A and B are shown apart, each in its own frame.
Chain A
Amino acid sequence: MKNIISSTDLGRKEIEEIFSLASSIKKGKKVKAIRDKVVALAFFEPSTRTFTSFDVAAKRLGLQTTGFRSEHETSVAKEETFADTIRMLSSYADCLVIRHKFDGAAKFASQITNRPIINAGDGKREHPTQSLIDLYTVLNSFGKIDGLRYGIVGDLKYGRAVHSLLSMLTTFKPRHVHLISPRQLEMPKGFLKGLNYPYGETERLESVIGDVDVLYATRIQKERFPDEIEYNKVKESYRIDRDIVSRMKDKAIILHPLPRVTEISRDVDATEKAKYFEQAGNGVPIRMALYSKILGG
């Protein structure tokens, strides 16, 4: 394994190996330290959770980290091109973790440098390490990923975590996927063409809530909207509260890539269905497993 650019780059066997290694790490099994190597965390777009978990995962393995947390901290702010910034980082570090607002940035970076590239989220479509975390959390809850009924609710138009997850699910066999969103935020039609499993679209969460095993909620992301008027029309379209939870299957779970705003009520946190903090915690072992696969050989 050299790069992780897209959710569809990884085969089922590779994904299962990553999950298996992450489980060993979670159980406290010692993994081989990777010393004398440096990871550059190149976050051209701000992020808290992803940045921190990549940073912590590296340090737990003995790796050193360098980098930046926003474009303003780089020479890009001085009009240096993205390609030149990647070349510069490649001369300092052994692996580059890239977060960027533009689609295809990580793929382009992988063509600029021979150093391994890990896509920490770019553009509107790719966030493969988040998808690994999501499905790993599903696996830990149900013992399987195949055969389940998924409900994806919220911003299906701009949300990269959702697009990436739905792409990674094409490597598995979900029974059905409900795509739940206001019309303004529905899944782009071109994207739907790439799905190889049964799915349906609806605006009403209530109509499918009793059917799902995994409810994946997302934030309506203000920063992705072209203007505030459009954002205000849809910002509180869905709210998962105790009433919604009471209509879910007994063993169903709720995931969220976080941060949340108002889409999940705080009193849901205490229910057994709320798995989103466990999901966030899985960020470190999954990213440790990825570093081990890429740099530990």
Chain B
Amino acid sequence: MDDTIMINKIRHGTVIDHIPVRKALMIPRILRLTEGKDTIAILVNAKSRLMDRKDIVKIENRILKDSEVNMLSLIAPGATINMIKDYKVAEKKSAVIPQRIEGLLKCPNGHCITNHDPEALTVFDLVTKSPLEMRCGYCNVSIDESEALKQVSGE
């Protein structure tokens, strides 16, 4: 039986390909996609020649900014990001771990001001890429890759 699911090509927007399996569901949260009106297609467990199985996200009418592309590096460092214009790939980008992440991660220090004032948005600066270490801009407490992933995935 043919198990193919057809998802239309998008005319204009972004396709995030080669996402590790089951990580695609985290992407709307990281990129705050559901706050807009754009059509988003999320394909989980798609067949892949390179990875056996993979996830794909298609976002119509929105070209991701570099800062948004880099946020994806936390969960899908090997993903390819294709910018689509008139049904064609106009530009390819890859995710680079950002120097700074604002407003996404929560500081694990219960005494950090970011956990006590609604206006104090978190700022984490990159210390090392491998192993990943990011440091709170307010209290200097670090988080590692597993903590960052746990938070981003909402697990």
Given A82-B113, A124-B111, the answer on whether A104 and B119 have CB atoms closer than 8 Å is no
Per-residue interface assignment for chain A, residues 81 to 96, with 1 indicating a CB less than 8 Å from any chain B CB and 0 otherwise: 1110000000000000
For chain B, what secondary structure do more than half of its interface residues adopt (helix, strand, loop), or is it mixed? Answer: loop
> Does B141 lie within 8 Å of A81, measured CB to CB?
no
Complex contacts, B117 vs chain A, CB 8 Å: 81-83, 108
- Chain A proximity of B147: nearest CB distance (Å): 13
Q: Is B112 an interface residue (CB 8 A)?
A: yes
- Chain B proximity of A99: nearest CB distance (Å): 13
Q: Is B138 an interface residue (CB 8 A)?
A: yes
Complex contacts, B139 vs chain A, CB 8 Å: 103-104, 123, 125
B120's partner among A104, A123, A124 (CB-CB below 8 A) is A104
Closest to B138 in A: A104
Q: How far is the CA of A105 from the CA of B119 in the complex (A)?
A: 12
Q: Is B136 an interface residue (CB 8 A)?
A: yes
> Does B138 lie within 8 Å of A108, measured CB to CB?
yes
Q: How far is the CA of A112 from the CA of B112 in the complex (A)?
A: 16
> Does B113 lie within 8 Å of A104, measured CB to CB?
yes
Closest to B117 in A: A82
| Number of interface residues, chain A, beta carbon within 8 A | 17
In A240-259, which residues have CB < 8 Å from any B CB? none
Closest to A163 in B: B140
A contacts, CB < 8 Å to B: 81-83, 100-105, 107-108, 112, 123-125, 190, 194
- Chain B proximity of A93: nearest CB distance (Å): 20
B136's partner among A81, A104, A194 (CB-CB below 8 A) is A104
Q: How far is the CA of A250 from the CA of B112 in the complex (A)?
A: 43
Known interface pairs A101-B111, A190-B140; 10 further A-B residue pairs with C-beta atoms within 8 A, sorted by A's residue number: A81-B119, A102-B113, A104-B114, A104-B136, A104-B137, A104-B139, A105-B113, A108-B138, A123-B111, A194-B140
Identify which of A123, A124, A125 gathers the most chain B CB atoms within 10 Å of its CB.
Answer: A123
A-B complex: 7 closest residue pairs judged by Cβ atoms: A104-B138, A103-B139, A104-B113, A83-B119, A102-B113, A82-B117, A105-B113
